[in-house]
Amino acid sequence: MYQLIGGFLIFNLGILTGWLVARAYNKSKFKLYELEAKAKADLIKKEADKILQDAKSDAKELTIETKQLHILAQDKEQALERQTNSFVEKEQRLENLIKEKEKLLSNLTEALAKTASLTKEEAKKELFKKYESEIEADLAQMSRKKIKIAKEELEKKANYMLATAVTRYAGEFAGERLINTITLPTDDHKGRIIGKEGRNIKALEQLLGVDIIIDDTPGVILVSNFNLYRRAIATEVIKRLVDDGRIHPARIEEVHDKVQKEFENKIYEEGEKIIVDLGLFPMHEEIVKLIGRLKYRASYGQNALAHSLEVARISKSLAAEMGGDEKLALRAGLLHDIGKALTQDFDGNHVDLGAHICRKYNEHPTVINAIYAHHGHEEPKSIEAAAVCSADVLSAARPGARREVLESFTKRVKGLEDIALSFDGVIQAYAINAGREIRVFIDSNKVSDDELTLLTHKIAKKIETELQYPGEIKVNAIRQSQAIELAK
């Protein structure tokens, strides 16, 4: 029992000793652990301090970088804002352009819809009219400078063209006088022309409508009248009577009728010859006659046919220089004064008469425009019409080409005859003695002897009212009866 107790005690003592030893061992081991932990803690602290220091340094650098990034971000934001604003503006502009395009398409659609029922030419006119105002300002601005340059160049070119055209054609001046001289074989023929009691010369002056001057000049008589055609017929009649030797009223009338018919044929032949020479066929025969008749018409002392031919040839040269139709310019130049062949027989100015006759016989519109344009009634619409206008001025402007006094005189004496012929009962009226006398032949069936004086007074008063003239004008009214019967 005691052994058991002893053993138990020993066992317990061993356990206690072991516990104490273990405790002591653990205590020492704990201290070791504590020391290691402290060492590690110091190391960790140092590392932490270093990390903290590094972190502070990194944080400082990061702060600087952050500031820099912030500034950069602000710059980028501003640039982005500017780009955004620019994009917005462009987008707005694009929207405006789209709206304008839509509006333009709408207008064009309306215009096309409107022109759907129109012809091609009418549609062109409508579209041009619609956009004319929009492009007018741009065209004016674009062309102003070019026009200035073109004017300078054209002026030089025009002067060269005019000089070239005039150099190529140097025509002779054809002047017209109011008197034709007839040479007689002997002075005895003067007596025959006068006739018994002046019977022959009165018949000649009445029928021919001219003033026959017989003075002391040996072997010569003068035929005076402003009308070239009438004077040419009178001259030819007198020459034939002198050659024939038979001079009396019946023979005078016979020769006059024959010469007048021959002259009608002659003026057509002369006109035809000119047309053939110039290569202007075909042309209506009535216009051909008028061209021949221009030979017996003067303007300011310048022969109308010679002037027309000169204008035609200069017009042709000018048109050639300017790239126009030479033949059309030649035709327009020849016909520009064609109305002058009609002014002695019809009322009105030669421009309107010429345009009317050319329109009547289907002449080219350029010819008609040239007729109007050469006196400023219209603007020239073509190179050819402009060439005619320039050529007309050149022909008329040559020194000595025209005489204003002669033209005013012929107008005055023509006015005398027109006034007399305006009264009922007047058969013929001739201005003679250089316009100082008007010889009026009265129809005895319409005007009696008692009415003759009153009619003469009325003619004189109308002349006083409508004409201006120096000195006096004698109104010589002749009332006569004539009967013709044929013996078979």
| Predicted pLDDT of residue 406 | 52
Please list the residue range(s) of the chain that carry CATH number 1.10.3210.
179-401
pLDDT tens, N- to C-terminus, the chain (488 residues):
556 666 666 666 666 666 665 666 656 665 666 666 666 666 766 776 776 677 677 667 767 766 776 676 676 677 767 777 776 777 777 777 777 767 776 776 666 556 555 565 666 666 666 656 666 656 566 656 666 676 666 666 665 565 565 555 545 444 455 678 888 888 888 888 888 888 888 888 888 888 888 877 788 888 887 778 888 888 999 999 888 888 888 888 899 999 989 988 888 999 999 999 999 888 999 999 999 988 888 766 678 888 889 889 888 988 888 888 999 999 999 999 999 888 877 778 889 999 999 999 999 999 999 999 988 888 999 989 998 988 888 777 654 445 444 555 666 777 888 888 889 888 888 887 667 788 888 888 888 887 888 888 888 888 888 876 656 788 888 887 666 565 65
- Regarding the domain delimited by 179-401, which CATH topology (the fold level of the hierarchy) does it fall under? Hypothetical protein af1432 (1.10.3210)
| Predicted pLDDT of residue 27 | 62
CA 192 – CA 10 distance, rounded (Å): 215
| Predicted pLDDT of residue 173 | 43
| Predicted pLDDT of residue 175 | 43
| Predicted pLDDT of residue 287 | 92
- Regarding the domain delimited by 406-480, which CATH topology (the fold level of the hierarchy) does it fall under? Alpha-Beta Plaits (3.30.70)
Please list the residue range(s) of the chain that carry CATH number 3.30.70.1350.
406-480
